[in-house]
Amino acid sequence: MEPKNTEYCLLAPISSVEEFLRSDFKASSNKIKKHFKKAFLNRSFKEKSTLLLPLNFTNDGEINPSYEGNPLEVIDESDEFFVFTKNPNQFIHPLTYDESDNCLSYLRQVRPDLLRVNKTQYDRGLLYRLDYETSGVVIYVKNEALYKSLRENFAAVAKEKIYLCWVEGEMTLSGNYKHYFKSSEEKGKRVKVSANDSDGLPGELSITPIQYSSELSKTLVEVKLKTGLRHQIRAQMAFLGFPLAGDEFYGGKAAKRLYLHAFKYELQIEKNHYLWESKPIDFNGL
């Protein structure tokens, strides 16, 4: 297991740890308070003393290169974009240095040059995020200026976001649906959906049943996502009475995985049209 701390040998005495962190690490007050207790910050140390500092502090903002998961399948690469398929049950990016086995840890191993974009943030050049459970198309922007422009105008340039999912039961609903979303429970882990609560954020999607399996009592559904709220497809399909297979959090039955897959993304950037499609979702284990 990778050590959580790193040792620093002081070449000169320090009057306080906080002063040392500010001068040698250029650390802000918020960053210091996040990682250290006040009593430790006020301590003084003699020359050649050893300080144990957490790696999440010393390597803050860096991507951990440790990756032992399945490789990410590359869909396409150009001067502007690196497009790949995210595996299910995998975080797309870390929140701290000690988090590994995420998509950006894989890129750190095989394509560290890509991580030069948006270097102060842990999501680097990711144009959008997919939930831990969700698989499918991920667009990574390789150019800093383009990244900033697309993030600021994503709703306008994203012409189509198509997902595939298996839902519980025989779904005959089709068409456009708009509902309102609010966070609920501690720290907004679960979202609450209502039909006419205008105080919530509006979420829209279009659904088309593709295939019903009487043996499984499940329906394969194509979802065109018009907005991009947290847990939107999962919560909205459950509200309509058809929770996703494997999504026990929103009322689905246990399965090998949560069956939601980002199948196709289409962008229009000025006169340039882009369309990326992943392989269809693997339905083994339903």
The DSSP code sequence of 152-197 is: HTHHHHEEEEEEEEEEES-----EEEEEEEEEESGGG-EEEEESS-
Going by the DSSP 8-state scheme, the letter that residue 45 receives in this structure is: B
As a whole number, the mean pLDDT across the chain is 93
Q: Determine how many CB atoms are found less than 10 A away from the CB of residue 106.
A: 23
pLDDT value at residue 183: 79
Q: Is 111 helix (H, G, I), strand (E, B) or coil?
A: coil
> What pTM, to 2 d.p., does this model score?
0.91
11-66 pLDDT, tens digit per residue, is: 999 999 999 999 999 999 999 999 999 999 999 999 999 999 999 999 999 999 99
Mean pLDDT computed over 92-113: 96
186-235 pLDDT, tens digit per residue, is: 665 789 999 987 778 999 999 999 999 999 999 999 999 999 899 999 99
Going by the DSSP 8-state scheme, the letter that residue 259 receives in this structure is: -
pLDDT value at residue 185: 61
One-letter amino acid identity for 271?
K
pLDDT value at residue 1: 46
% the chain with pLDDT above 70: 96
**Spacing of C-alpha 81 from chain mean position:** 18
Q: Which domains does the chain have, with CATH numbers?
A: 5-58 (no CATH), 63-152 (3.30.2350.10), 158-286 (3.30.2350.10)
